[in-house]
Amino acid sequence: MSKQTYTVCFCFTRRFKLAVAEAPGEIRALFDSYSENGIMTVDQLHRFLLEVQGDDKATQEDAEAIMDSLKHLSIFHRKGFNLEAFFRYLFGDDNPPLSPSPKVHQDMTATLSHYFIYTGHNSYLTGNQLSSDCSDIPIIKALQRGVRVIELDMWPNPTKDGVDILHGRTLTTPVELIKCLRSIREYAFVASEYPVVITLEDHLTPELQAKVAEMVTQTFGDLLFCPGSEHLVEFPSPESLKRRIIISTKPPKEYLESKSITENDNGSNKVKDSSEEGAWGKEVPDMKDRFESFDKNDMEDSEHQDEKYLDDKLQQNAAPEYKHLIAIHAEKTKGAIKEWLRVDPNKVRRISLSEPRLEKTVITNGTDIVRFTQRNILRVYPKSTRFDSSNYNPLIGWTHGAQMVAFNMQGYGRSLWLMQGMFKGNGGCGYVKKPDILMKVGPHNEVFDPKRNLPVKKTLKVKIYMGEGWYLDFHRTHFDLYSPPDFYARVGIAGVPADSVMKKTRAIEDNWIPAWDEEFEFPLTVPELALLRIEVHEYDMSEQDDFGGQTCLPVSELRMGIRSVPLYSQKGEKYKSVKLLMRFEFV
């Protein structure tokens, strides 16, 4: 007797009907207060801008321009805004939480050391730190996003007659220096007119340094800033350096004689003796050795490793034309902490600290760092065990005055969101003025201490009404196969330790247009260094919650009132439609 097979079909009704976004009750009440007979006139809108939005410079003409921008919509009433048009204005692109870019509004005439500067680390890498390709493409992308400091690691090419850019002693494939320089020249000022600094990690012989000098001067020409004296007493201002390119590296001093490099039987270069490595460092034959070349506990970048074998070797004269290029002198951090944090009244300089070294130093000498960075420049870079090109908490550096907190821009994650948020400030020009609290010296020579508990200066009140746009930017089944998503929001502060906190709304079930209508208060002791963090996630009972968007905003630049807050992807790319309706107040 034959067996019969029966198929049981489970049918699910997909509930994807999209509700129409409706104005929250508080918005309706505000509209009623600033309208008559269901219509808000230009005069009433102007009063709303002054009294609710806190736009104390708003004019009647501004109110007219807002109304004119919505006249093309079918919902617009000829006499003014009805409720729907008013709601669309508040939730529209013309009502952002920060002043529209580009709008540089901070004083740009102070010395460079008075600014946080948008800084990249290993700017040429397309992916991980060990085996990804080196290219000028990440450099171009960084410059297009407003990054102002580009790092290049210079090594001799395989034939030792040219210069490559690569991450030394790894499997990263090189890109020619000249290609990187030409791309920097082309894209340096597309996002900002303010200066681009190129930090060079130098592993070259004097002969190759002379070639670098020729390439740099020929490529950049009059764009290059070369100071008249060897040491600057004070750094110039970003304003005075508009559309200029600045070179920063250690002035070369000691190198091995080139004769210590010999040819092997196959004609390839190798080090004569393991105790005498060439100027480009030890050659590592395979990935196992490359991994072992990293100290996984607390390793400094290769620039610090190479100095170890360069010390006390035969001195050669560095190419004078190469020395002449260096405008921001970098110094080796050697000796006691107090020594490399000393403030010299006769010259300014830059030092670099690894992420773990900074974390240790702020515990013992945090205020010394703050004092050092009032005149000098501190660059911080990721620990070398971040093979995946991840990043670290930038607030540790910023709250101690570090200007160049260097990040792997090709990655993504919360740390990078903070970096992108900080440099949304000041019109996105890549330079953000350090707050006065980091620049002041008290009557007893005291400076700001981020670890010290201070009284609350002001309280930020944040209300998150609702969100929309996921239905347009995501596939219908992206979050859930059979029903609309269950969105919740996380809202918090990143800043000094006393101010840092995250809070969460409830999840709104089965709704593409979640209406949370929840309010949070954040007491701030140092609002000048605070960033507002916002994330949206979709609750998933059985798996990891899905990502629904994020943004990070400098608290000092928030526009008060009811604002439309656009959200960004994990990689920091702005969504076309996803946004939140929020209200910001200081109380």
Which residues are identified as catalytic?
A: 121, 167
Are the C-beta atoms of 380 and 406 separated by less than 8 Å? Answer: yes
CA atoms of 355 and 358, how far apart (whole Å): 5
Residue 209 buriedness (CB in 10 A; 0-12 / 13-18 / 19+):
buried
Distance in angstroms (rounded) separating the CA atoms of residues 24 and 115: 41
Residues 467/514, Cβ–Cβ less than 8 Å: yes
SS (H, E, C) 495-532: CCCCCCEEEECCCECCCCCCEEEEEEEEEECCHHHCEE
DSSP annotation of 70: T
SS3 322: helix
Q: What separation in angstroms does the CA of 453 have from each of 49, 330, 519?
A: 36, 34, 26
Kindly report the CA angle at 586 between 583 and 587, in degrees rounded to 5? 120
- Burial (CB < 10 A; 0-12, 13-18, 19+), residue 121, is buried
Pairing mode, strands 350-354 and 196-202:
unpaired
Sign of CA dihedral 157, 163, 169, 170: negative
Cis peptide before 566 (omega within 30 of 0): no
Q: What are phi and psi of 57, to 5 degrees?
A: -100, 5
DSSP H or E run through 117: strand 115-117
Residue 110 has what DSSP assignment? S
Give CA 353 to chain center in angstroms.
18
Q: Pairing state of beta strands 404-407 and 119-120?
A: parallel
Taking alpha carbons only, the member of 140, 139, 142, 143 closest to residue 192 is 143
Nearest C-alpha neighbor of 104 from the set 424, 387, 420, 484 = 424
Strand partners, 140: none
For residues 518 and 9, what is the distance between their CA atoms, to the nearest angstrom? 42
Q: Are 238 and 431 in contact (CB under 8 A)?
A: yes
